[in-house]
Amino acid sequence: MKKYALYIGRWQNWHKGHEWLINQQLEKGKNVWVAIRDVEQDENNPKNAHQILMELSKEPFFMENSDKILISIIPDIESVNYGRGVGYDVIYHEPPTQIAEISGTKIRKGEIDAAGQKTYS
């Protein structure tokens, strides 16, 4: 049975920071489960979960790693909880500054592109 490193997010918009984060486990030979939170559409979430699922499945990163990545939609969550001895780790990945500065909000506002480069209008 396969084990997966779980990443939960809205993934709006897919960008280089997301790719960096998921690569932290892929580069260790791990399988990754990308869980898309089914959040209500609003200014910060302009796309629904099904649109995100379709977009991610067409991203070159996902296509190149399709044998190692599972993508699915999960209900919106308010917390992730665990008890002692649950058999898995909770891991925080500290991104480098140039990756940490990339955000879907900045992309949606047209301030940067998906690679984190400033856009000039």
Q: What's the confidence (pLDDT) of residue 121?
A: 61
- Domains of the chain in sequence order: 4-78+88-94 (3.40.50.620)
Mean pLDDT of the chain: 91
Sign of CA dihedral 65, 36, 104, 21: negative
Q: Are 61 and 26 spatial neighbours (Cβ–Cβ below 8 Å)?
A: no
For 5, 49, 95, 111, the CA distances from 33, given in Å and listed in that order, are 6, 15, 19, 29
State pLDDT tens for residues 56-108: 999 999 999 999 999 999 999 999 988 888 888 888 888 888 888 888 778 88
> What's the rounded Cα separation, in Å, for the pair 22 and 93?
10
> What's the rounded Cα separation, in Å, for the pair 66 and 52?
16
Q: Residue 10 is encoded by which pair of tokens?
A: 């809205």
Q: What's the confidence (pLDDT) of residue 87?
A: 84
